[in-house]
A and B are shown apart, each in its own frame.
Chain A
Amino acid sequence: MSTKKQKPKSAPKAEKSEAVKPEQAEKKEIPEELLKPDAEVQPEGGVMTESLIMVRNLEKHYGELHALDGVSMNIEKGEVVVVIGPSGSGKSTFLRSLNLLEMPTSGELIFEGVNMLDKHVDINVHRQKMGMVFQHFNLFPHMTIMKNITIAPMKLLKKSRAEAEEKAHSLLKRVGLDDRAESYPSQLSGGQKQRIAIVRALCMEPDVMLFDEPTSALDPEMVGEVLDVMKSLAKEGMTMVVVTHEMGFAKEVADRVVFMADGKILETGSPEEMFSNPKTDKAKQFLASVLS
């Protein structure tokens, strides 16, 4: 919805986009500027507010490397989107640019109606609404589990200790780790750490959860316990964007599977479509190698 002026898409800095202001008059001209011919999103989608996250022509360059090459996508409230693709396809970069851990080189990113790439937007406030779970858990080793979970709600949402700990306990019970509240991260197994990491993100009551290969660093026998937590989250209607190699999870839980390669979204579809009848050669190749 940003009122973009006549700026070519190749403009070097994303910050050029102006503050978000609904302007019906400019509705028609936006899509033509923003969308490349090959973008698969409907132009009208770009100006409607229903989508929780709207991504338009996201580009990311690391020097020579073109990590994201015009990625566009809408993520609806309550939707579970699973992003798959070969390594180096840009799927992690895409996920990390949704909460601006990676700063896109150009493009548009609109979250809850706010243009996240606007210089005047306080990204920290919006990140509170986007929980993130990392491949390597990234729990804080110098804090107990309870402190890990409650520090952000207490410092950022200004919750009282009692309030934050109550919430933490109820979430810990849900993942079956309430008895580990006073342990330190180093005393937990990988699967337990990842469940705690999910709880830590949930305690901020986010509107969307981003998972960056949450089971890739786990021993095989611990993958299930983490996926179970994620499945129950999905059932409750949490909006989730998941980068994963767990095709079983994708089949079972995803509303939509997105296949990325070479920094582009090559294919989007329901899990049935994607796994039984991939359209592109790259997707066929990839799925053949991971499903065999």
Chain B
Amino acid sequence: MTVYAAKPFAEWAEDFKARFINDFITDNRWKFLWNGLGVTLKITAGALVIGVILGFLVAAIRATHDKTGKLRFLNALAKLYLTVIRGTPVVVQLLITYFVILAPLGVNEVLVAICAFGINSGAYVAEIVRAGIMSIDNGQFEAGRSLGFNYPQTMWFIILPQAFKNILPALCNEFIVLLKETSVSGYVALQDLTKGGDIIRGRTFDAFLPLIAVALIYLVIVLILTKLVSILERRLRSSEH
């Protein structure tokens, strides 16, 4: 690999252009990144949905147990889930989901990754949401129950909306982590963004530009996400207090 800075600028620029063309234009190699980005976003979005649903469900079970002592069995199950998921690497979970559980059934790889990352993310979302629920004053809960709302109604109408606002920054953080974690999807033969950059590296034997491009794309998405959440946060805050 050449050291760019050691050359005169004109030569360097010429060299850079040649590499750029070779890395991204020739044979439409940019398509590896473009298609990879599509796969990455698909996995992230799918896993997000599963993670949030699973997370809220598990959190509701755990918080219900903490508050009322009911749901012993489900709570034990939820705890087991949290322990296993948080105690093992996501790559291992992905490999197991793919090779042990779903590949024999012939399930599509993207779906496998969505499941694996969704189940993984759910564990982290669950603890964030649980903390949010526990942070709401018990008086809110009692007020809801005293009006005649049952437990799930109180959760849904009164506790969760307030908890959600409190945990939004933590949830956003979890989504950013999730997006970046999907970069290991290449392990199960998925051509996501990272794998796309790596394929280009394999074709052109130039590591610098493809991988920097990949990093930049992740960075831009994360910045956009962060911006969106801060707008949402401001909106939620202005609606009261």
Tell me, in angstroms, the Cα distance from A125 to B157 when the chains sit together: 17
Number of interface residues of B (CB under 8 A): 21
Tell me, in angstroms, the Cα distance from A124 to B142 when the chains sit together: 12
Is the beta-carbon distance between A152 and B149 smaller than 8 angstroms? yes
Segment from B16-24, B158-166, B179-187 that makes contact with A: B158-166
Segment from A111-119, A136-144, A169-177 that makes contact with B: A136-144
Is the beta-carbon distance between B161 and A155 smaller than 8 angstroms? no
A186 at the interface (CB under 8 A from B): yes
Most buried by B among A130, A151, A200: A151
Is the beta-carbon distance between A99 and B146 smaller than 8 angstroms? yes
Instruction: Give A103's nearest chain B residue, CB to CB.
Output: B68
Q: How many whole Å from B39's CB to the nearest CB in chain A?
A: 38
Instruction: Give B140's nearest chain A residue, CB to CB.
Output: A138
A142 in complex: contacting residue of B145, B149, B165, CB < 8 Å: B165
**Which residues of chain B (140-172) have a CB below 8 Å from chain A?**
140, 142-150, 153, 157-158, 161-162, 165
Is the beta-carbon distance between A125 and B148 smaller than 8 angstroms? yes
Is the beta-carbon distance between B139 and A136 smaller than 8 angstroms? yes
Is the beta-carbon distance between B149 and A156 smaller than 8 angstroms? yes
Is the beta-carbon distance between B161 and A142 smaller than 8 angstroms? yes
Is the beta-carbon distance between A140 and B158 smaller than 8 angstroms? yes
Which residues from B are CB-within-8-Å of A186?
240-241
Is the beta-carbon distance between A101 and B142 smaller than 8 angstroms? yes
Instruction: Give A184's nearest chain B residue, CB to CB.
Output: B240
Q: How many whole Å from B25's CB to the nearest CB in chain A?
A: 53
Given contacts A127-B147, A128-B147, A142-B165, is CB(A155)–CB(B153) below 8 Å?
yes
Is the beta-carbon distance between B149 and A138 smaller than 8 angstroms? no
A275 at the interface (CB under 8 A from B): no
Tell me, in angstroms, the Cα distance from A243 to B39 when the chains sit together: 62
Is the beta-carbon distance between B148 and A138 smaller than 8 angstroms? no
Instruction: Give B164's nearest chain A residue, CB to CB.
Output: A142
A138 in complex: contacting residue of B139, B150, B165, B241, CB < 8 Å: B139
Is the beta-carbon distance between B142 and A138 smaller than 8 angstroms? yes
**Which residues of chain B (209-237) have a CB below 8 Å from chain A?**
none
B157 in complex: contacting residue of A124, A131, A136, A151, CB < 8 Å: A151
Is the beta-carbon distance between A156 and B142 smaller than 8 angstroms? no
Tell me, in angstroms, the Cα distance from A186 to B240 when the chains sit together: 7
Which residues from B are CB-within-8-Å of A128?
147-148
Instruction: Give A140's nearest chain B residue, CB to CB.
Output: B158
Q: How many whole Å from B163's CB to the nearest CB in chain A?
A: 10
**Which residues of chain A (92-149) have a CB below 8 Å from chain B?**
99, 101, 124-125, 127-128, 130-132, 134, 136, 138-142
**Which residues of chain A (228-242) have a CB below 8 Å from chain B?**
none
Is the beta-carbon distance between B162 and A141 smaller than 8 angstroms? yes
Tell me, in angstroms, the Cα distance from A141 to B161 when the chains sit together: 10
Instruction: Give B141's nearest chain A residue, CB to CB.
Output: A138
Which residues from B are CB-within-8-Å of A127?
145-148
Instruction: Give A144's nearest chain B residue, CB to CB.
Output: B240
Tell me, in angstroms, the Cα distance from A142 to B136 when the chains sit together: 12
B162 in complex: contacting residue of A142, A184, A201, CB < 8 Å: A142
A204 at the interface (CB under 8 A from B): yes
Tell me, in angstroms, the Cα distance from A33 to B222 when the chains sit together: 70
Most buried by B among A131, A141, A151: A141
Q: Can you list 14 A-B pairs with a CB-CB distance of less than 8 A?
A: A99-B146, A132-B143, A134-B146, A136-B139, A138-B143, A139-B143, A142-B161, A142-B239, A155-B153, A156-B147, A184-B239, A186-B240, A200-B147, A204-B148
- List chain B positions with a Cβ less than 8 A from chain A: 137, 139-140, 142-150, 153, 157-158, 161-162, 165, 239-241
Q: Which 5 A-B pairs give the minimum distances between C-beta atoms? A: A128-B148, A138-B143, A132-B146, A138-B139, A152-B147
